[in-house]
Chains A and B, each alone.
Chain A
Amino acid sequence: MGERFALSWRDRDGLEWLAWEGAGVAAAFPTREGGVSPAPYDSLNLGLSTGDEPANVLENRRRFCAAVGVPHERLVVPGQVHGATLAWVGETEAGRGAFDRETVIHDHDGLLTAAPGLGLVVSHADCVPVVVAARGADGPELAAVHAGWRGMLAGVVGQAAAALARRGRLLGAVVGPSIGPCCFSVDEELRARFDERFPGSAGRSTVDLWACAARDLEAAGLPPAAVTVAALCTMSDKRFFSHRRDRGSTGRHLAIAWRQEA
């Protein structure tokens, strides 16, 4: 039967994050608390592609990695472009983008790995971070995906799950804090595109990205009960950075997902 995944709040040294764990895979979704950055990046800004001082961001990353227990030098950071390109990463990629912008895995919105202890990263502040866990031939495997509305329409979530499903058995997935159906207002043209691609996902002038992600995960083979939607809206909940609410001038969260030691 299904593996049991748990979602819970954790905190350490002034940082707090939503933890998702099960089947040898873990993910951490931080709030903005506990960092050193000044407004408007206050305070745990983990994104280097902002106007914040890189030294602040690196200190924040150091703190967050220490709190969740993933070595900073083992992060793998994608250079996200709102696309649907995925990459399998392993030991060779450990540390790419962890300390600078130049060495990120360019032009990718989803990373997959079977390597233990490698921290796959999704940078987000309204976009939807999704982590998928599977059992492969040699143990747990996972995907960490960045899906804004473009990536969602392009099917990046489903493609990541399908890539895992081709090698093993899908076990569970979590949709992290991101802009909710309460706040994601769209124009008529975009509403219509979503309604066509994900029937029923659009309200009168809003779209439920969480439901879209869940839909594609289920289409890839996950049972509905194995898909957990954290139901935390970054725009309406001030514990999070929100690109829309803060009109672009804000920090970034890094969701980190990893295979626990075998």
Chain B
Amino acid sequence: MRQFVPKAEVVRERFAEVSGRVAEAAAAAGRDPAEVRILVATKYVAAEHLGALRDAGISLIGENRAQDLVAKQAMYGDAFDYHFIGHLQSRKARLVVPLVSLIHAVSTMSVVQEIEARAANATTVLLEINIAGEESKNGIAPAAADTFLEEAAACGKVRFCGLMCMPPLSDDAETARPYFAQTRELAERLSSTWQGTYTFDQLSMGTSADYETAAQEGATIVRIGSVLF
């Protein structure tokens, strides 16, 4: 199993570099750099090593597995703001919902219903869009988003506030640009269609490989991992 063992001073330096690049990319696109948050993906960082991220000044982390999230939250509590960025299984929703401030990848009605059943309060989530129509990926096809949201609207505690996408893997960050742009355009369209029910102003897109492109194309959360360690 791959494992990152972070060193606080290395992470601090690299995070500053990534932050600078994100700010530049956002500014180049005429955006306010403060609109883009940098989430650190910690799937490959063991719980006992998260302290180095805290010491490096990291505040927002994203977990892929419910059990890991539970273990890490138990160790570090309020030191981080936790997001869930993995594929959420409905039977794990019960564990995840109380611990996170945002669930990134909701794309099935069973998960929507499970969150509705388990949540004490309104729970903010992102709709995962399969923007390139890849069979291997989760997510709702852009054309099916409205139908899905109509069904989900019966679950009043589940509040969609944006979209999440994962374009096809590529060596070239430019390959992802049209997919990021399409995701942003879809969010703009959904914002007006669903005004009063849902907002779509959060866009979780871009990883270590293409976060600058994503920041130029409207991302409000980029998910960074390997480049920091």
Residues of A whose CB lies within 8 Å of any CB of B are: 6-9, 18, 182, 203-206, 210, 224-225, 227-232, 239
Q: Are B5 and A18 in contact (CB under 8 A)?
A: yes
Residues of chain B within 8 A of A203, CB atoms compared: 171
Q: Mark B99-126, 1 if CB is under 8 A from A, else 0.
A: 0000000000000000000000000000
Q: Are A231 and B49 in contact (CB under 8 A)?
A: no
Residues of chain B within 8 A of A8, CB atoms compared: 5, 49
Contacts A8-B49, A9-B7, A182-B226: A228 and B171 contacting too (C-beta < 8 A)? no
Expressed in whole angstroms, the Cα–Cα distance for A8 and B10 within the complex equals: 14
Q: Are B2 and A231 in contact (CB under 8 A)?
A: yes
Q: Are B171 and A231 in contact (CB under 8 A)?
A: no
Contacts A8-B49, A182-B226: A231 and B7 contacting too (C-beta < 8 A)? no
Q: Mark B147-159, 1 if CB is under 8 A from A, else 0.
A: 0000000000000
Q: How far is the CB of B32 from chain A (nearest CB, A)?
A: 31
Q: Are A7 and B5 in contact (CB under 8 A)?
A: yes
Q: Mark B171-208, 1 if CB is under 8 A from A, else 0.
A: 10000000000000000000000000000000000000
Q: How far is the CB of A230 from chain B (nearest CB, A)?
A: 7
Residues of chain B within 8 A of A224, CB atoms compared: 1
Q: How far is the CB of B211 from chain A (nearest CB, A)?
A: 15
Q: How far is the CB of B50 from chain A (nearest CB, A)?
A: 13
Q: Are A9 and B5 in contact (CB under 8 A)?
A: yes
Q: How far is the CB of A244 from chain B (nearest CB, A)?
A: 17
Find the B residue at minimum CB distance from A229. Answer: B2
6 nearest interchain CB pairs? A229-B2, A231-B2, A7-B5, A9-B7, A228-B3, A231-B4
**9 pairs from A and B in contact (CB 8 Å cutoff):** A7-B5, A182-B226, A203-B171, A210-B2, A224-B1, A231-B4, A231-B44, A232-B229, A239-B10
A-B contact count (CB 8 A): 33
Contacts A182-B226, A204-B171, A205-B171: A230 and B7 contacting too (C-beta < 8 A)? no
Residues of chain B within 8 A of A182, CB atoms compared: 226
Expressed in whole angstroms, the Cα–Cα distance for A239 and B10 within the complex equals: 10
User: Interface size class for chain B?
Assistant: 10 to 19
Residues of chain B within 8 A of A231, CB atoms compared: 2-4, 44, 226, 229
Q: Are B171 and A230 in contact (CB under 8 A)?
A: no
Residues of chain B within 8 A of A239, CB atoms compared: 10
Residues of chain A within 8 A of B2, CB atoms compared: 210, 229, 231
Contacts A204-B171, A205-B171: A7 and B1 contacting too (C-beta < 8 A)? no
Residues of chain A within 8 A of B49, CB atoms compared: 8
Contacts A231-B44, A231-B226, A231-B229: A7 and B3 contacting too (C-beta < 8 A)? yes
Residues of chain B within 8 A of A6, CB atoms compared: 48
Expressed in whole angstroms, the Cα–Cα distance for A18 and B2 within the complex equals: 14
Find the A residue at minimum CB distance from B46. Answer: A7
Expressed in whole angstroms, the Cα–Cα distance for A224 and B1 within the complex equals: 6
Q: How far is the CB of B64 from chain A (nearest CB, A)?
A: 15
Residues of chain A within 8 A of B1, CB atoms compared: 224-225, 227-229
Find the B residue at minimum CB distance from A180. Answer: B226
Expressed in whole angstroms, the Cα–Cα distance for A182 and B227 within the complex equals: 11
Q: Are B3 and A229 in contact (CB under 8 A)?
A: yes
Residues of chain B within 8 A of A210, CB atoms compared: 2
Q: A18-B5, A231-B3 are in contact. List 5 more A-B contacts (CB 8 A).
A: A206-B171, A224-B1, A229-B2, A230-B3, A232-B229
Residues of chain B within 8 A of A206, CB atoms compared: 171
Residues of chain A within 8 A of B4, CB atoms compared: 231
Residues of chain A within 8 A of B46, CB atoms compared: 7
Residues of chain B within 8 A of A225, CB atoms compared: 1
Q: How far is the CB of A184 from chain B (nearest CB, A)?
A: 13
Expressed in whole angstroms, the Cα–Cα distance for A231 and B49 within the complex equals: 15
